[in-house]
Amino acid sequence: MHECIFPIGPQHPALKEPIYLKLHVEGTTVKQAEFNLGYAHRGVERISEGKLLDPELHTVQRTCGICSHCHSLAFLRAVEPVAGLTIPMKVKLQRVMVAELERIHSHLLWAGVMMHEMGLETLFMYFWRERENILDVFDELTGGRVHHSINLVGTMKRSFNKENLVFAQEKLNSIIDRVKEHREVLENHDVIVSRSKGIGKISKKMAVDLGLVGPVARASGVDYDVRVNSPYEAYTEIKVKPVLRVETDAWARSLARADEILESIKIIDKAIDMIDPNEELPKKPSFFAKEGVGLGRVEAPRGENFHYVKIENNRISRIKLRTPTLANLCVYPKILEDVDITDVPVIVASLDPCISCMERVTVIKDGKKEIWTTHELSEAKKHD
Amino acid sequence: MSKMTDMRADRLVSITCLKDGEDFKLIYHFSLNDDPDLIAITIDVSKGEKVKTIIPRWNNALFFETEVTEFYGLNFEGNPACGTRLFLQEVEK
């Protein structure tokens, strides 16, 4: 049969972020999938080099617009031990609370996008309506609906008081029943089941071989969650029950994320119970991290987020960010082989890619020769 | 490198490249399911030296190695994606 190339993107209504998919199709069957990246590249790693640790936090957390807190948390997990800082339990609890709110927000946003890909616009609006409640909680707790910027090296900018915690609890209580209803719809709705059940299967062996992370791996039965396997912050006190599934398809990934929302609400409830609303947080400590290397790993909404930070004289010598989408990237060509072209949007959405998050990497050489400095990067930005 | 591919590790977490004067350092981070800590292995790479790929043992090294190739110019022997751009392929044309 005649083979032709079907291009999708980089700008396309079905894509929430720019990626160029080149599908080699025979009839309506995809025989090979290639992709091209780089449209959302901002050079975060390069910009960070040579910066002081404190102001650098602002750059790092802007790597992603959905999991900004997780990026700052991974960065702090790398930096704070090198700086010799001890973190009070209230700070740890507040950090966990914001991280779990971010997971709920990310999964609700994803669910809306997934419904949009299936043509279910009403459900898209329902999921995003629930997400608005979480954004309101962010607004109340941190002052920022998307970029929270609440972390500081060694502490946090705000101490959550009783009114903040009551507001968060009420908002979560208001959505929990509706989230359970939506989960039932994800599980049983005829259109959702027919569009996602048995589609985009990733066997447990494939997930292990490819080193997949996050809900994508857990929906294939891989029992790995950084919060459980390498507990950090207040996860040492609050136990997390990882959501595992065995169906391995796009449907399983949907249900895994829906169940993670409910699990996150339980974690936040426990954190609220443990937070002393009258306790004040310590002021921003003064520190000098002379030299060292720090590693930070956190369980971001999409999976393990890894930061490598090399420090010299309180400044960043090198930072490397390995986002969950980069870890899951290798499954795309495999999962899109021999599928019907109409299933491609659903399969891609089921993996919940965050392209902007992934394309943070440093531009050192464009193949052979050119090295970009911070100044050149900012100049390039001016010419955009 | 051969010792590295034989060692016990459940997952390759990341490959980080550091510039060391004219030369490079490659840091491989691995995780074990039953250990909260990571394993880090650093190898020194001279300018122009080829590094053996670890894709046969850890499939997810494909894009980590390709990324290092693209930004630092290091070549990984046996990596099928080496020589093709990961980012903005049309820029090359």
Q: Convert the pLDDT of each residue in A301-313 to its tens digit.
A: 999 999 999 999 9
Contact B29 A308 (CB under 8 A): yes
- Cβ of residue A322 closer than 8 Å to a chain B Cβ: yes
User: Cα(A326)–Cα(A322) distance, rounded to whole angstroms?
Assistant: 7
Nearest chain B residue (CA) to A20: B88
Q: Residue A66 to residues A71, A182, A264, A358, A373: CA-CA distances in angstroms?
A: 10, 21, 16, 12, 28
Cβ(A222)–Cβ(A212) under 8 Å? yes
pLDDT at residue A224 above 50?
yes
- Give tens-digit pLDDT for A44-70: 888 888 899 888 888 888 888 888 999
pLDDT range class, residue A281, cuts 50, 70, 90: very high
Please state the rounded mean pLDDT for residues A87-96. Answer: 96
| B10 vs A309, more confident | A309
Q: Is A34 on the interface with B (CB under 8 A)?
A: no
Interatomic CA distance for residues B35 and A381, integer angstroms: 43
CA distance B88 to chain A (A): 5
| pLDDT confidence of residue A377 | 44
Mean pLDDT of A223-243: 93
Distance CA A112, CA A114 (A): 5
User: Where residue A40 falls among pLDDT bands split at 50, 70, 90?
Assistant: confident
CB < 8 Å to B75, chain A: none
- Most B CBs within 10 A among A21, A216, A308, A372, hence the mutation to make, goes to A308
Segment 261-300 of chain A within 8 Å of chain B by CB: 295, 297
Q: Is the pLDDT score of B1 beyond 70? A: no
**Residue B43, pLDDT score:** 93
Q: Is the Cα dihedral A269, A271, A276, A282 positive or negative?
A: negative
Average pLDDT of chain A, as a whole number: 88
Asked if B1 contacts B52 with a C-beta cutoff of 8 angstroms, the reply is: yes
Give the whole-number percent of chain A exceeding pLDDT 90.
67
